[in-house]
Amino acid sequence: MALTTTPPAAPANTLLHLTNVGKTYGRAAKRFQAVRGVNLQIQAGEFVCLLGPSGCGKSTLLRMITGLNPASEGEVLYRGRRLDGVNPYATIVFQTFALYPWLTVQENVEVALKARGVAPAERRRRAVQLLDTVGLDGFETAYPRELSGGMRQKAGFARALAVEPELLCLDEPFSALDVLSAEALRGELMELWLNKSLPTQAILMVTHNIEEAVLMADRIVVMGKDPGHVVTEMVVHLRQPRQRKDTAFQALVDKVYAAVAGQTEPEVEALGTAPGQPGATEKLPTARINALAGLMERLESDGGRADLYRLGGALRLELDDLLPIVEAAELLSFAQVAQGDISLTPLGQTFATASILARKEIAAGRLLRLPTIRWIYETLQKDDNQRVAEDYFLDHLRSEFGDYAATQLDIAINWARYAEIFAFDDDTDELYLEKEAVAVTRTAGA
């Protein structure tokens, strides 16, 4: 029995209720359990992110929720009713949204309405309005091939929204886009969601990007694999719009990261206090960021793990030169060393395979945890012009590091410049703040 088209008056605002849901693919000897024992609820008004490594069953879960695939075990309730067949209250947007190439943008949106029996005039009106909402006005008569990746994804959103789904499911909707288009589209989606301009009551978004989840979600559900299961859930109390560089933001990213990696993060206290503050400051290893990136790439191509001694030989580095790079990788939680072997962490792996811009974002998140870098960043932030003489920092660093002060500042600048946190002005001998990263909520289409 399929769901009827009018939802029963729900006693609570619970839209989705999964109890002990599991999924097994294949049969007999080829049986494979992809997901097991998932309990999850989604209330109206919530933006929930499902986060976890590749292969942990995120897409499988979405397919069971939208009814594209049946669950093998447990119960999927939508508004208190057992789901059987396609869920008419939920739609899904995939990583790359399949638009019909022979239809215009507007026709692509209308298709969804036509399938629901909406009359032609009303179809046109709604399609035009939705395209306007997602910032595609003016492109109604364009064909998909004439659009950029970001615009095609927006057309996909418009088509998914056309049927006014109560529950909008997004499966890594930004991961096929370049970093800048992804950031712009995230901002636009958040703006529509926070303004309540979407005809939708809840969003369930799948991602493997920790920062994306912390940026957007009210609640983060962390999944692990073998078989896919829920590890933990975290409520995000940060106010919107959120800033990636905020301390509270980074602290939550760390916490989520630890849950994803299944390990406890080194305590921030272990990194010491800021220069000039009572207590020792952890010294930054004297490794240039390009060398660190090179090491990450090398490890990635070696399958994520290598013998340190042999690695030194392969990279033609003396141990004295290799060790600070390894130490930097550990400090940023990109790698772990045990018994002479170095292995990439999930974060290090992500870094190694990411685009340049994504790498900068990841690096910024990690670097701002380091007391010296955070101290410089915050000092610059407090300055009216966001510029402070190099000598000011050197004086404080000297009290902590003596003769190594200049090297420490040099490394801090090298790392921070890469991550676009702050940089050094040769003409004035000042450090200055790089432009703040794009705020999440920004004007649509701006």
**According to CB under 5 A, which residues from 166 to 195 bind Mg ion?**
none
Residue from 48, 49, 56, 292 that binds ligand ADP (CB under 6 A)?
Answer: 56
Choosing among Mg ion, ligand ADP, none, which partner's interface includes residue 54 (Cβ < 5 to 8 Å by kind)? ligand ADP
Give the nearer residue to ligand ADP in terms of CB position, either 74 or 80: 74
66 binds Mg ion (CB under 5 A): no
- Taking CB within 5 to 8 Å according to partner kind, which of Mg ion, ligand ADP, none is near residue 25? ligand ADP
Q: Is 379 in the site for Mg ion (CB under 5 A)?
A: no
- Minimum separation from the CB atom of position 38 to ligand ADP (A): 12
* Six-digit token string for 144: 């998909």
For the chain, the three-class secondary structure string (H helix, E strand, C coil) is CCCCCCCCCCCCCEEEEEEEEEEEECCHHHCEEEEEEEEEEEECCCEEEEECCCCCCHHHHHHHHCCCCCCCEEEEEECCEECCCCCCCEEEECCCCCCCCCCCHHHHHHHHHHHCCCCHHHHHHHHHHHHHHCCCCCCCCCCHHHCCHHHHHHHHHHHHHHCCCCEEEEECCCCCCCHHHHHHHHHHHHHHHHCCCCCCCEEEEEECCHHHHHHHCCEEEEEECCCEEEEEEEECCCCCCCCCCCHHHHHHHHHHHHHHHCCCCCCHHHHECCCCCCCCECCCCCCCHHHHHHHHHHHHHCCCEEEHHHHHHHCCCCHHHHHHHHHHHHHCCCEEEECCEEEECHHHHHHHHCCHHHHHHHHHHHHCCCHHHHHHHHHHHHCCCCEEEHHHHHHHHHHHHHHHHHHHHHHHHHHHHHCCCEEEECCCCEEEECCCCCCCCCCCCC
- Of 144 and 224, CB closest to ligand ADP: 224
Peptide bond preceding 70: is omega within 30 degrees of 0, i.e. cis? Answer: no
Q: Does 51 bind ligand ADP (CB under 6 A)?
A: no
- Residues 41-60, interacting with Mg ion (CB under 5 A): 59
Is 36 one of the binding residues for ligand ADP (CB under 6 A)? no
Cβ proximity to Mg ion: between 59 and 209 the closer is 59
Cβ(351)–Cβ(362) under 8 Å? yes
* Cβ closest to ligand ADP, residue 20 vs residue 54: 54
Give the pair of three-digit tokens for residue 171: 């499966």
Binding mask 3-22 for Mg ion (x = CB under 5 A): --------------------
Compute the least distance from the CB of residue 287 to Mg ion, in Å.
Answer: 35
Please pick, from the candidates 17, 36, 58, 242, the single residue that binds ligand ADP as defined by CB under 6 A: 58
Nearer to Mg ion among residue 92 and residue 328 (C-beta):
92
Nearer to ligand ADP, 68 or 142 (CB): 68
Q: Which of 39, 54, 301, 353 touches ligand ADP by CB under 6 A? A: 54
For residue 321, the minimal CB distance to ligand ADP (Å) is: 38
Q: Could you count the other beta carbons within 10 Å of the beta carbon of residue 390?
A: 16
Asked if 13 touches ligand ADP (CB under 6 A), the answer is: no
CB of 256 to ligand ADP, least distance (A): 16
Q: How far is the CB of 173 from ligand ADP (least distance, A)?
A: 13
Q: How many residues bind Mg ion (CB under 5 A)?
A: 1
- x/- letters, 211..240, toward ligand ADP (CB under 6 A): -----------------x------------
Mask for 59-98, x = binds ligand ADP (CB under 6 A) = xx--------------------------------------
Residue 369 touching ligand ADP (CB under 6 A):
no
| Per CB under 6 A, 346 contacts ligand ADP | no
Angle between helices 289-301 and 346-353 (to 10 degrees): 100
Positions that interact with Mg ion (CB under 5 A): 59
Positions that interact with ligand ADP (CB under 6 A): 25-26, 32, 34, 52, 54-60, 228
